[in-house]
A and B are shown apart, each in its own frame.
Chain A
Amino acid sequence: MPAITPIHYLILAAALFALGTIGVLTRRNVVIVLMSIELILNAVNLNLVAFSRLWGLQGQVFAIFVITDAAAEAAVGLGILIAFFRNKETINVDEVDLLKW
Chain B
Amino acid sequence: MTPVATSFFFYFLSALALSGGVLVITRRNPVHSALALILTLLALAGIYLMLYAPFVAGVQIILYAGGIMVLFLFVIMLVNVGRVEKEKQFNQQWIVSFVAALGLGILFVVIFTKSPLLRQIAQKPPAQLVESSNTQEIGNWLYGQYMLSFEIASLLLLVAIVGAVVMAKKRV
Contacts and interface: CB of A to CB of B under 8 A. Distances in A.
Given A17-B108, A53-B52, A75-B164, A91 B6 contact: no
Nearest to B102: A18
Contacts of A9: 47, 51
A11 B64 CA distance: 22
Interface residues of A, number: 74
Contacts of A75: 71, 160-161, 164
B97 to A, nearest CB: 3
B106 to A, nearest CB: 8
Contacts of A22: 25, 97-98, 101-102
A52 B159 CA distance: 30
Contacts of A99: none
Contacts of B25: 19-20, 22-23, 26-27, 32, 36, 39
A96 interface: no
B157 A71 contact: yes
A61 B30 contact: no
A43 to B, nearest CB: 9
Contacts of A58: 141
Contact of B126 (A38, A53, A71, A72): A53
B142 A61 contact: yes
A99 B124 CA distance: 53
Contact of A54 (B10, B93, B122, B138): B122
A7 B17 CA distance: 17
A79 B141 contact: no
19 contacts: A10-B118, A12-B17, A14-B112, A15-B21, A17-B104, A21-B100, A25-B98, A31-B76, A31-B79, A38-B64, A49-B56, A52-B53, A54-B124, A57-B138, A61-B146, A63-B56, A64-B138, A70-B64, A75-B161
Interface of A: 1-12, 14-23, 25-29, 31-32, 34-36, 38-39, 42, 45-46, 49-50, 52-58, 60-61, 63-65, 67-76, 78-83, 85, 89-94
Given A39-B21, A79-B167, 16 more contacts: A7-B112, A7-B122, A8-B10, A11-B108, A12-B17, A14-B108, A14-B112, A16-B40, A26-B94, A38-B37, A60-B53, A61-B138, A61-B141, A71-B63, A74-B71, A82-B78
